[in-house]
Amino acid sequence: MTRFQPTRRSFLIASAVTAGAALTTASGLRVPAQAKGLAPTPSMRGGANNYLPGAPIVERIGGGGFWMSGTVRRAGDGAPLAGMRIQIWAHTTEGHERDPHSHGATLTDANGEFRLEMPQIVPAFGQPHGHLAYDDEAFKTVFLRPVMRSAADTRLSAHFVLQPT
């Protein structure tokens, strides 16, 4: 854990950075179309918890009712990646996060988009959250653990920008 101990200097630097960022954003110096530098998505802490290597590709996990969705793009040029295998799992109304039947994988379409229906996610270990993983050979492995704003949400999305290996 990093400790934040603000000093006058760090406060001034932070203020200058914030002001600078606000200026560049407001003046349009940052152009979103410049996707060439698209940075890869870093794995999230705790994302790999209860991962099940080789979980099968499924039409739907359990009875459904909750939608997990997202996109997969290539780092650098941001090109959408088709046929990418994304594993999805969570603690749901139908099973614990480590139960094999709480896991399933899906493939991205031609636009690099995926969506998989699954049972409602319920709060576990302090907060409702999902898990998503890309773990194949072409790109570096990424584990994501997005948190839901509310336990009543019935959809959750997460986006991958993958780094070629």
Binding residues for another protein, rule: CB under 8 A, are: 1, 44-50, 91-93, 96-98, 122-128, 145, 147, 151
DSSP 99: S
The β-bridge partners of 89 are 103, 131
CA atoms within 13 A on the CB side of 54: 0
Strand partners, 146: none
State the nearest-atom distance from the C-beta of 55 to another protein, in Å: 16
Q: 138 vs 151, which CB is nearer to another protein?
A: 151
In this complex, which beta carbon is closest to another protein, that of residue 50 or of residue 115? 50
Minimum CB separation of residue 84 from another protein in Å reads 24
Minimum CB distance to another protein smaller for 55 or for 84: 55
Task: Choose between 98 and 155: whose C-beta lies nearer to another protein.
Answer: 98
Q: For residues 109 and 71, what is the distance between their CA atoms, to the nearest angstrom?
A: 9
- For the bound state, the minimum distance from the C-beta of residue 141 to another protein, rounded and expressed in Å, comes to 16
| Dihedral sign (CA 110, 113, 114, 115) | negative
- The Cβ of residue 9 has, within 10 Å, a number of other Cβ atoms equal to 8
Other Cβ atoms less than 10 A from the Cβ of 148: the count is 18
Two tokens, residue 14 = 């932070």
Q: How far is the CB of 45 from another protein (least distance, A)?
A: 4
Residue 99 or 109 having the CB closest to another protein = 99
Supply the minimum distance, in Å, between the C-beta of residue 5 and another protein: 17
